[in-house]
Amino acid sequence: MSQVRKFLPENKLAKTITDPNGMLLGHAVKKAAENIEKVRDIHLAALEVKLDELAQVAATAMQSQSASDAANLYRLAREVLGDAGIFGLKHISRAAHSLCELMAAGDRHRHQWAGVAVHVEALAILRREGKNPTGADLDGMLAGLAKISRAPV
Amino acid sequence: MGAALDLSARINLNRTSVLVLDSNPQSLDLLRRVLNGFGVRSVHACQHVRDAERIFYDQTLELIIVDPLFEDDSGFEFIRFARREENSPNRCVGIIAALGHQTLGNVRAARDAGANTVVAKPLSPDVLLQRIHWVARESRPFIVAPNYVGPDRRFKNQGPPLGTNGRRTDDLSFDVPVAAGPDMNQSQIDEMFKPMKVAL
What residues contact B78, with CB distance under 8 A and at least 6 apart? B21, B49, B52, B53, B66, B68
**Which of B11, B93, B144 faces A28 most closely, judged by CB atoms?**
B11
A35 touches chain B (CB under 8 A): yes
E strands within B67-177?
94-99, 117-120, 142-144, 149-151
**pLDDT for the residue B155:** 66
**pLDDT for the residue A139:** 83
Residue A108 pLDDT more than 80?
no
**Chain B: residue whose CA lies nearest to A94:** B122
What's the predicted TM-score (pTM) here?
A: 0.84
A53 touches chain B (CB under 8 A): no
8 Å CB contact between A98 and A144: no
Q: Residue A91 belongs to a domain with what CATH number?
A: 1.20.120
**Which of A8, A9, A25 faces B129 most closely, judged by CB atoms?**
A25
66-85 in chain A: CB under 8 A from chain B: 71, 74-75, 77-79, 81-85
Q: How many Cβ contacts (< 8 angstroms) between chains A and B? A: 185
Q: In this complex, do B101 and A21 lie within 8 Å of one another by their Cβ atoms?
A: no
d(CA B89, CA B24): 28
d(CA A100, CA A123): 13
pLDDT by 10-residue block (mean), chain B, 200 residues? 76 96 97 98 97 97 96 93 96 96 92 96 95 93 95 76 70 62 72 68
Tell whether A103 is covered by a domain. Answer: yes
**Chain B: residue whose CA lies nearest to A93:** B122
Average per-residue pLDDT in chain A?
90
Question: Rounded to an integer, what is the distance from CA B15 to the centroid of its chain?
Answer: 20
Tell whether A4 is covered by a domain. Answer: no
Tell whether A144 is covered by a domain. Answer: yes
8 Å CB contact between B114 and B149: yes
**pLDDT for the residue B170:** 65
Domain with A123, as residue range(s), is 40-149
- Chain A residue numbers touching B132 (CB-CB < 8 A): 13
Band (pLDDT 50/70/90 cuts) for residue A129 is confident
Phi, psi of B106 (to 5 degrees): -70, -40
Number of structural domains (chain A) is 1
DSSP per residue over B13-28, as a string?
A: -TT-EEEEE-S-HHHH
- Chain A residue numbers touching B164 (CB-CB < 8 A): none
Decide which of A129 and B124 is more confident.
Answer: B124
Q: Which of A2, A8, A1, A13 is nearest to B151 (CA)?
A: A8
8 Å CB contact between B129 and B11: yes
Q: In this complex, do B136 and A13 lie within 8 Å of one another by their Cβ atoms?
A: yes
Q: Which of A20, A54, A9 is nearest to B86 (CA)?
A: A9
DSSP state of A87: T
Q: Which pLDDT tens digit goes with each residue over B27-40?
A: 999 999 999 999 99
Tell whether A129 is covered by a domain. Answer: yes
Q: Which of B19, B71, B101 to mutate to test the interface with A (most CBs of A within 10 A)?
A: B101
8 Å CB contact between B119 and A118: no
For chain A, percent of residues with pLDDT exceeding 90: 65
The mean pLDDT of A19-47, rounded to a whole number, is 95
> What's the gap in Å between the CA of A98 and the closest CA on chain B?
10
- Chain A residue numbers touching B152 (CB-CB < 8 A): 6
- Chain A residue numbers touching B109 (CB-CB < 8 A): none
Tell whether A19 is covered by a domain. Answer: no
Do the bridges between strand A23-24 and strand B17-21 make them parallel or antiparallel, or are there none, so unpaired? unpaired
Tell whether A27 is covered by a domain. Answer: no
Q: In this complex, do A13 and B16 lie within 8 Å of one another by their Cβ atoms?
A: yes
**pLDDT for the residue B173:** 59
Q: Which pLDDT tens digit goes with each residue over A75-88?
A: 999 999 999 999 99
A31 touches chain B (CB under 8 A): yes
Tell whether A15 is covered by a domain. Answer: no
State which amino acid sits at residue B84.
R
Tell whether A13 is covered by a domain. Answer: no
- Chain B residue numbers touching A86 (CB-CB < 8 A): 30, 121-124
